[in-house]
Amino acid sequence: MKPPTTEPGWKDVARILLGCWPNQVSMWGREAIAAYCDELRQHGLTPPAACAALRATTAEFPPSAGALAASTRPPRTSTGAALALIEQAIRRVAVSAYHPDFAAHHQAAVDWLATQDRVVAAWAARRGLCGPGSLGVEPIFDGEFGGAVRRRLDIEFADLATEAQRRALAGGPAIPDSMLLTHASEQGGGMAELLQRLRPSDEIPVSMP
């Protein structure tokens, strides 16, 4: 395997290390820079992510590779805290899933969630806040099945948070704006499409009072 500093992109990391801390040039010999870049790579950082993190740091001395990698990761919210935010967002929807303006209300609630936690907002956009199959109808307080439901949701939310971290480590946005658009607000989809799939026969018209 090539030394990191000879690969495309890692040379830019080396230049930033030498340029951001000119008083520390003596500590950044070729071998030291190669070792630092290799450690960054082992932490999962790509050159673009490493460059962005180095430019953003205000540290007086170069941060350790582990600290720099940690700075690129979005903070982890617990599933309990995420569900508490989901509950607040559900109250913000304030209309039935069958209301003609439901899509707009639902998207507004997800947009509010994005100001609180973008990973939670992406979860809400993916699963929905209200209506059939949504987070809002999960029986988390059911005496018999609530524990199993909460464990399933914990895994589901953790997987989404891990996806976000991987995107951040690769140098991209942890949660792209496209992930905050709800299915209910898509053209030609949403609740009408869901009802179309659920109705038992073509004799029952789709209507959204």
**Domains in the chain: boundaries:** 4-72, 79-198
Amino acid at 109: A
Q: Which two tokens stand for residue 140?
A: 């988390």
Contact assessment for residue 12 and residue 47, using Cβ atoms and an 8 Å cutoff: yes
Name the 3-class secondary structure at 73.
coil
Contact predicate 10/4, CB 8 Å = yes
User: Would you say 107 and 130 are in contact if contact means Cβ atoms under 8 Å apart?
Assistant: no
pLDDT in tens, 5-48: 556 688 888 888 877 776 665 667 778 888 888 998 888 888 88
Contact 130, 103 (CB under 8 A): no
69: nearest Cα among 140, 6, 13, 11: 13
pTM over 0.85, yes/no:
no
- Cα 6 → chain centroid: 32
- Quick: pLDDT tens for 62-93: 788 888 888 877 778 899 999 999 999 999 99
Would you state the structure tokens that stand for residue 123, as one six-digit string? Answer: 């979860």
